[in-house]
Amino acid sequence: MTSRKTTMTNFASLLRPESLNEVVGQDHAVGQIKGMVKRGQFAQTIMLSGSYSSGKTTIARLIAKYANCTDIDKKSFKTCGKCIVCKGYPKSMPDVHEINCGVNTGVDNARSLVNQSRMAPRNNFRIFILDEVQEATKQAQSALLKPLEEPPANCIWILCTTNPEKVIETARSRCLVMKLKDISPKDCYKILVRACKKLNFKISPSVLKYIASGVQGVPRNALATLEGVYNYVKSGNKLSQSILEDMLVGQGGFSEKTAVDWFLAMLKDNEKERLAITSKVDDAAGFLSYIGWLTHQVVLIYSGNKAFVPLEIRKALSSKTAKNIALNVYADLPALINKLTMYTRHNVPAKSVLLELNSVVSSWGD
C-alpha cells in the first residue's frame, strides 16, 4: 500500500501573523490599530501604503479580524480564536471582501462595491479590502469618493497600495493613511526566528541572518527560502553555503558576500576590485538596498550604537584608509544610494547605475 500524498500550504501563508502582537517592524501602525481596538472605535477609511511584502494585506486582514471578532481581550490584544471570524482568518472571514483592483479595474466594479457596502453585515462591520487600488481607473476611484467620505456606519474601507501617489488626491485625503516601512534585515531575522519556533525547526542563527540579509529584508522571500532550507534539511542533506546561495538567488536575492566584498573594497579604496565585483551584479536595486543597509549599520557604529554588521566590515573600519573614507560613508553614501535607487525605478540599466556608484566612491579616496 502506498502512503497518501498531501499538499502543504507555503510558509509565507502558513506562518502569517495571527495577531497584532506578531506583526514585526510596523509598530507605528500596530499602535494605532490597538488604540482602535481598545476604544472599540475603528476608522472607517484606511489607506495602507508600502512596498512589496511590507505587510499591507496582512495588516488589512488583521484589522478586519479585530473589528469583527466577538470576544477580544483588550489587555493582551488576543482575539478569541473560536468565533466564525477567527476560524475564517485569513481568507474566509464573513463580511470581508478582498478585491484585486489590478483585475477589477473598471467603474462598474466600483459601483457594485458601493451597492454591497449598503447591505447590513452579519457581524459588526462589512469590510472591503481593495488591494493595489492604484490600478483602478480614475473613474472607478472617483466612484468610491462618496462612500469613502460618508461610509455607512457598519462599513470599513481599507485601501492597500504600493503607489499612493497614483491614487487620486481626493480619495487619499479621505483616508487615515498608514505608511508601512520596509522591513529591515534585522526585523526579517526576527520573523524567521519566530517561524522556526512555530515549526519546531532547529537551524543555526547564522543561516537565518544570512537569509534575512540575502533577500534584503523581504519577509515573503525570506520565508520561501526558509521553506527550501526546511525541505532540504528534512530530507537528510547537510546545508552548505553554496546551496543556501542557490536558494537565495531563486527567491530574487543575491549572495550577501557580493555586497560585503564590495563594501570592504570601498573601505580599502580598491577601485579595481569594486569594478570587478559590480560587473557581475544584475540586480542593481537589490544590491543598492543591501549596501544601503550596511551603510546604516556603519553609521550606527560611528554613533556609538549597537549594529548588526558582518565582523569583517567591523574589523576593516579600524584601518587608516577606512577612517579617511568614513566621513563620506557617514555623510554622503546614504543620499547617493537613494539617488541611484530612484534611477533603477526609472529602468536605468544596472550597468550604468553601478558605474556611477563606483565613479562617485572613487573620488572619496583622492
Q: Which pLDDT value is given to residue 342?
A: 73
Which pLDDT does position 204 carry in this prediction? Answer: 92
C-alpha cell at 266: 570601498
In order along its 366 residues, the chain shows pLDDT tens digits of 455 555 567 888 888 999 999 999 999 999 999 999 999 999 999 999 988 788 999 999 999 999 999 999 999 999 999 999 999 999 899 999 999 887 777 888 889 999 999 999 999 999 999 998 988 899 999 999 999 989 999 999 999 998 898 899 999 999 999 999 888 888 999 999 999 999 999 999 989 988 887 776 788 888 989 999 999 999 999 998 778 877 876 665 556 778 888 989 988 888 999 999 888 787 787 788 778 777 777 777 777 777 667 778 888 887 777 777 766 776 777 778 778 877 776 677 878 888 888 888 888 765
> 10 Å Cβ neighbour count for 169?
9
∠ CA 291-292-295, rounded to 5°: 85
Q: DSSP labels for 292-328?
A: HHHHHHHHHHHTT------HHHHHHTTSHHHHHHHHH
Helices (H), the chain: 11-14, 27-39, 56-68, 84-88, 107-117, 138-143, 145-149, 169-172, 185-199, 205-214, 219-234, 241-250, 256-267, 271-278, 284-302, 311-316, 320-331, 333-345, 350-364
The pTM (predicted TM-score) of the whole model is 0.72
Cα(269)–Cα(328) distance, integer angstroms: 12
pLDDT of 291: 82
pLDDT of residue 349: 82
Q: Distances in Å between the alpha carbon of 153 and those of 28, 65, 121, 150? A: 26, 18, 11, 9
pLDDT of the residue at 345 = 64
Distance CA 159, CA 149 (A): 13
Q: What is the pLDDT of residue 1?
A: 47
pLDDT in the model for residue 327? 67
Beta-carbon contacts of 28 under 8 Å, excluding residues fewer than 6 positions away, are 178, 181
Name the maximum alpha-carbon separation found in the chain: 74
Report the distance separating Cα 29 and Cα 66, nearest Å. 14
Cα-based distances in Å from 159 to 12, 28, 125, 155: 22, 18, 16, 13
The one-letter amino acid code at 109 reads: N
DSSP letter string, 164-181: GGGS-HHHHTTSEEEEPP
